[in-house]
Structure 1
Amino acid sequence: MDPINERQLLKMLMDTESNENASQQCFFVTPKLLPDMEYTKTVNTMVVYNSQTMLPHSRFNLERIFRARRKVMQKHS
């Protein structure tokens, strides 16, 4: 899925889930994280890091990864 539609789909799921009358469960599976996405308080987000090439859990810092990505994106814009 292209980045624009991926973000729109996740936003639609967030809007639907945040409805007070919502009684459904939605699962959104993606091989990457969506930085700067607004998640509602009613949504549980689970991230699974499972690869031989991943950093050990004790060295994994999600905020540092997002900062590095923003820095790269700013260079290319």
Structure 2
Amino acid sequence: MYKNTWVPGAWFTLNTILALCPPIYWALDSSVEVAGLPMTLFYFLAVCLSISASIVYAYFFDRHNGEFES
């Protein structure tokens, strides 16, 4: 299941770029709606969910590789 060891690092890097680069947020048009939400709000929710999912993935990745064994 966890064969790609580069996935967590790449995912965290992508999350960092998406969360900390205001020009991406500024480029979004507020008049466009996605699922009934303004695009800017949808962007922040999507980034939040991606960050949360990557932390959970990293936890299970480390647990599977025996990082928590004493």
TM-score band, normalised by shorter chain? 0.3 to 0.5
Q: Looking at CA atoms only, which structure, 1 or 2, has the larger radius of gyration?
A: 2
Between Structure 1 and Structure 2, the one with more strand by share is: 2
Structure number with the bigger relative contact order (C-alpha 8 A, sep ≥ 6) is 2
Q: Give the structure-2-normalised TM-score.
A: 0.34
Q: Give the structure-1-normalised TM-score.
A: 0.32
